[in-house]
Amino acid sequence: LKRKEWCDVAKELLDGVKILDFTWAIAGSMTTKQFADHGAAVVRIESRTRPDLTRFERLSSGSSENNPDDKPWFCDINSSKYSLTINLKHPGARRVIMRLVDWCDIVAENFTPGTMKKLGYDYETLKAHKPDLIMLSSSVFGQTGPFAETWGIDGTGNALSGRLSASGWPDRAPTLPSASILGDIVQPYVNAAALTAALIARARTGHGQYIDSSMFEILVQHTAPAAIEQAAKGADFARHGNRVAWAAPHGVFPCAGDERWLAIEVTSDDEWRALCAEMGRASLAADPRFITLAQRKANEDALEREVAAWTHTQDPHHAMLKLQTAGVAAGAVQTAADIVDRDPQIGQRGALVTLPHPPLEPFGHQAPPYKFSRTPHTMRTAPNLGEHTRMVCREFLGMPENEIDTLMADGLFV
């Protein structure tokens, strides 16, 4: 490895990695969170005039309309980072930003393509200043091509990739989860993977990299087989509800209680017999409509009625444990309440880390959803807007206090 400083003992996974973070909105925040929660120094570039979307969307009580520091969603996806506010249009901004470029390994941004060029911080400009810079531009369509400058968000990616058209019941219009996005949460992992791989490449070759990430392209990695299959038939994406070709029953069944459901997947005849036994319906296993997968698929409506007749008296978690013990794949359809208060698996993994964030009550922030045996994550409270401006200038840039005071008085750091 060419870079000596790399070989200093690294206590945390990404000790010593430095990111200048121009990202805003969800996909960008999630990308740099993966680094910050594992020990990298991530400095968010923010301003009071262009605040992050999630600093203002009021989703829960405890959040006010105008305080940028009391939004739990923002806190969740920006844990462990530093915030520096700066007016990028101020004549003194460029000198500070370029010093931060010198300081960092990685610049990350997810503006609409073209924005960084307008600001004068596009890759070509920054690379001329710092040849081994690694830079990520993350967008819905990518930085090149006829649609590069088209605006888009998470749902745009769903519509573009076929994910929207393929979700839901065959006899109804498509649907999507009511409060859970995908593209904005998948793309960050690919972005973070590419950035870390680029650090490895830099250590090997001495070269920096420019990474151009498109949510559309990442989602089509997922939908391509279905697109190929359907297009070959001259058909559009198909919706199959909860059914699949290779298993039956494969569905979501009503349980006792209000809006309680159980998901069951039976992938073999053995599992079908085990399910019948657990349902106390051994005779059903011998029913000629249901013996083989082909028969169960041919009589799937009747099959699902038989299973539902049993589940509707059951508690979903109890039934899940019973079926799993018998070797049948089953899972309670869990709400957020189940996940937060009840699920012993999620609990044991420490998926939520309680952190203080005044004026909010302490609450469970989401941890990175993978565990490293040697270098566990260490999460810190997300930054208030501009909280670390002075600290970053002093500690990371080595600015004397009086210079910081002068720039503050000059209205640069707002």
Partner 1 sequence: MGTSAGGFLDGTRVLDLSTAHAYTAGKILASFGADVVKVEPPGGERARTTPPCRDDGDSIYWSHHNAGKRGITLNLERADGAALLKRLAAEADILVESFTPGTLAGLGLDYTALAPVNPRLVFVSITPFGQEGPYSRFKAGELVISAMSGILTLTGDTDRAPVKEALDAHIFHANCAAANAAIMAYHHALRTGEGQHVDVSIQEVGASRNTKSIIGWQFDRRVTARTGNRQVVGQIFGRWIWGLRDGVAFFNLMSGKVGAPSNRALSAWLDEAGLVNPMQGIDWENMSRAAITQTQRDTWDEAIATLFGRYGRDEMRAEATRRGLNVCVANTAAEVLAHPQLLARDYWQGDVASHFVLSTPAANKLARAAAPRPGEHNAEVFSRLGISQAALGALEAQGVV
Q: Per CB under 8 A, which region of 100-108, 248-256, 275-283, 289-297 contacts partner 1?
A: 248-256
**Site track for partner 1 across 127-156, x = CB under 8 A:** --------------xxxxxxxx--xxx-xx
Nearest CA to 192 among 157, 218, 154? 218
Question: Do 239 and 174 meet the contact criterion of CB atoms below 8 Å apart?
Answer: yes
Q: Per CB under 8 A, which region of 9-17, 97-105, 382-390, 398-406 contacts partner 1?
A: 9-17
Among 87, 115, 230, 299, binds partner 1 (CB under 8 A): 230
Nearest CA to 51 among 81, 90, 85? 85
- Residue 270 to residue 154: CA distance in whole angstroms: 41
- Residue 173 to residue 275: CA distance in whole angstroms: 32
Q: Which amino acid is at 157?
A: G
* Number of neighbouring beta carbons within 10 Å of residue 305: 11
First to last CA, the chain: 41
Q: Per CB under 8 A, which region of 113-121, 190-198, 290-298, 384-392 contacts partner 1?
A: 190-198
Site for partner 1, residues 359 to 388, rule: CB under 8 A: 361, 363-364, 366, 368-375
With CB under 8 A, what is the number of residues at the site for partner 1? Answer: 157
Q: Which amino acid is at 242?
A: N
Site for partner 1, residues 163 to 182, rule: CB under 8 A: 163-169, 172-182
- Residue 50 to residue 69: CA distance in whole angstroms: 15
Report the DSSP pairing between strands 41-46 and 329-332: unpaired
**In terms of residues, how long is the chain?**
414
Site for partner 1, residues 256 to 315, rule: CB under 8 A: 259, 261-265, 267
- The answer to whether 223 contacts partner 1 (rule: CB under 8 A) is yes
- The answer to whether 411 contacts partner 1 (rule: CB under 8 A) is no
Nearest distance from residue 113's CB to partner 1, in Å?
12
Helix (H) or strand (E) holding 401: helix 401-409
Q: Which is nearer to partner 1, 201 or 408 (CB)?
A: 201
Site for partner 1, residues 58 to 117, rule: CB under 8 A: 58-62, 65, 72-73, 76-77
Return the bridge partners of 201, or none.
none
Nearest distance from residue 93's CB to partner 1, in Å?
21
55-63: Cβ within 8 A, 24+ apart: 55/385, 62/359, 62/360, 62/361, 63/360
What is the phi-psi region of residue 145: left when phi exceeds 0, alpha when psi lies from -120 to 50, beta otherwise?
left
Nearest distance from residue 332's CB to partner 1, in Å?
6
Nearest distance from residue 378's CB to partner 1, in Å?
14
Nearest distance from residue 200's CB to partner 1, in Å?
6
SS3 state of residue 349:
helix
Q: Which is nearer to partner 1, 98 or 252 (CB)?
A: 252
Chain position carrying tokens 């190929």: 228
- The answer to whether 185 contacts partner 1 (rule: CB under 8 A) is yes
Among 332, 355, 385, 412, binds partner 1 (CB under 8 A): 332
- Residue 144 to residue 353: CA distance in whole angstroms: 39
* Number of neighbouring beta carbons within 10 Å of residue 154: 21
Nearest distance from residue 96's CB to partner 1, in Å?
25
Which residues are within 8 A (CB) of 207 and not within 5 positions of it... i.e. 6 or more apart?
A: 132, 201
Nearest distance from residue 185's CB to partner 1, in Å?
5
Q: Which is nearer to partner 1, 99 or 112 (CB)?
A: 112
Site for partner 1, residues 17 to 56, rule: CB under 8 A: 34, 38, 53, 56
- The answer to whether 334 contacts partner 1 (rule: CB under 8 A) is yes
Among 69, 105, 212, 306, binds partner 1 (CB under 8 A): 212
Q: Per CB under 8 A, which region of 3-11, 88-96, 285-293, 380-388 contacts partner 1?
A: 3-11
Nearest distance from residue 117's CB to partner 1, in Å?
16
Dihedrals phi, psi of 251, to nearest 5 degrees: -165, -175
Q: Which is nearer to partner 1, 124 or 409 (CB)?
A: 124
Distance of CA 147 to the CA centre of its chain: 24
Q: Which is nearer to partner 1, 62 or 92 (CB)?
A: 62
